[in-house]
Every structure is written in C-alpha cells, then in structure tokens.
Structure 1
C-alpha cells in the first residue's frame, strides 16, 4: 500500500490505499509512483496532496473500491449539507488526479440532483460550489457547462443579488448563454416599446 496525506494542519488526514488500485484509476498516481518521481520524495511510498480536501479524498476512496459516489439524491438531506459541498471539492480532486471516470460520476450525481429524482427535491449547486469548481477546474471543464446550463434554464435573479461575487468567467458564460437563448423571446413585447419613461432619471 501507499500512504496519501491530504490537506493541511490541523485538518490533515492520512489514507492508505493499494497502489495497483489507485494507479489503475489515476494518471496522477501512475506518474507519482514512477521511480524517477518517487525517488525525489523523502519517502517514495508517501504522496502528499496539501491543497486538497480530506473529505473529498474519502469520497474518492469509496469510489475507488465500490464504484459508487456516496452522495445521491436524498429527501432527508438539506441542500446546504456538507455532503453536497464536498461534491465540488471531490470534482476538483478528480481534476487533479486525472481520473475522468470519477469526475463523470460526480457530474452524473449533479445531474440527478438537478432533475430531482423522486422522492428527492431538485437541488442546484450552491454559489460556493460554483466558486470551488471554477477555481479548481480548467476553462474547458464540462462541469462548468453544466453549471451554466442550470443557471441559464433555472436561475433566479436572487441568486446573483444575494451574492455578487461569483466568478467572472462564470458570469460571462451565463451572459453568453442567455443572449443565445434570446431568440426564444421574439414574441414577447420589448420593454422599451412599452414606456420610454422607465429609462428616465427622476
């Protein structure tokens, strides 16, 4: 086995995992355990991930050995629970570990939440999750597209009014998506045709 040390003090946590199991899934670990890389560490059997979340790695361990994501739509779990929040950190971890299957499983979980699989209610990613995902993923990340699609189709103005500090890239993509969808409103009266006084300063 190898030891994986995740996070920073005081929340740092160690995990022990079978080398073959994790290297089979993660290109990051396949590279990390190559002799030329392992020899550069004080202990070649220890891999440190100081920037990642220990709870997210716990998610990854469950996925690694069971093939399932431990968080699925549950009517008894409120949307603000830590388990939902950890999904975002887990996706970022999957990005770092270069494990597409893990990332895709998390994306599927987000889709299930957004669909509202009965008897669970619909759940959309929180603004904090959006920040975590945008800070930890590449520009072309497909999960970013899911976040944009959710907001473009189901977003409410309160989501922005209550939190104006969303990632700039996210807001740009939302704006582009809404402008592309503008053709759907051709039959709706333009507000500037109704009363020009609404644009006057009083």
Structure 2
C-alpha cells in the first residue's frame, strides 16, 4: 500500500468508524458502561474496531483496543473465545489480537472453562461450543505457549 492509495472502508460499518473518530477526538475507546451492551457485544465491537485499526494501519488505535479488551477480561473475569474464529479469518496470522487470545488461554485458562462450555452446549444455550469452533491452529498455538512455560520451568 502506497501513502496516496485510498483506504477502502466498505467492510466496516458507519458505527465502527464513528467509534474510531470518537477515539481520535476524545482519546477514549468505546466503553461498555456508556452503551449498556452485553459483554459479548463489547468483545465483538472491540474486535471490529481492532480489524478497522488493522485496515487503516493505526497501531496506536489497535494497542488501545488491546488495552480495552484486557481491561474488560479483568473486570468481568471472562475471556472471549468466541472471537478466535473471526480473528483467524480477518487478521494476519500472529496478529497482536491473536497472540493475546492465545495468551489468555495459555496463562489464564482453566479446566472449568471447558466444563462450562460443555454445560452450555448440553443445555442448548449454544448449538456449538465456542471452544469447538476455534480453529485447530489456535489450539496448536495455545499448546506451544504452554510447552514454552513448562520448558522454562524445567530449565529454572
């Protein structure tokens, strides 16, 4: 992409672009508390914003989105596994958002997450588990991160 090449935004909703413009002027990333969305909607919106940041090559904006995702996971103690497929499809391999999701599972993951997913599927709250929908490449990266930690502990 050359400096004077146009940036095509047809894949991004006016609402997402509006959130970006608000960030430019206010320096504040879209916030769940301001808009009364569910946590799942917040994770989805933040992912859309990150994808927009990638499209327009605004790494400062992307870093702010990463910070907002981390803050949401810490505040609500929930981790957005449902985003893995979308991140895999819409962003380059090993994007910062992909690596964040891998790290969340590798360093914060718990057996209870899998158990909860199974329960949600069994009770028909979901037709297919978010865990099952995650691409195999994601689980390979999670395993590699876990093994790296184990290797480091053995060396120490």
Give the structure-2-normalised TM-score: 0.72
SS of residue matched to 1:49: coil
Cα deviations across residues 59-89 of structure 1 (Å, max 9, x unaligned)? 2111122111022578x75422x23311101
Higher helix share: 2
Residue 3 of structure 1 is matched in structure 2 by none
1:125 alignment counterpart = 80
CA RMSD of aligned residues (A): 2.9
Residue 40 of structure 2 corresponds to residue 108 of structure 1: no
The answer to whether the Cα contact below 8 Å between 2:81 and 2:101 also exists between their aligned partners in 1 is no
2:46 matches 1:87:
yes
Q: In the alignment, does 2:94 pair up with 1:140?
A: yes
Deviation at 1:50, TM superposition (A): 2.1
Of 18, 38, 60 in structure 2, the residue corresponding to residue 58 of structure 1 is 18
For the pair 1:169 / 2:124, whether they are aligned, the reply is no
Q: Unaligned regions of 5+ residues in structure 2, if any?
A: 119-128
Structure with more strand by fraction: 1
Ranges of 4+ aligned residues in structure 1 off by more than 6 Å? none
Tell me which of the two structures has the higher relative contact order, counting C-alpha pairs closer than 8 angstroms and 6 or more residues apart.
2
- Which protein has the larger Cα radius of gyration, Structure 1 or Structure 2? 1
Distance 1:59 1:114 in 2: 20
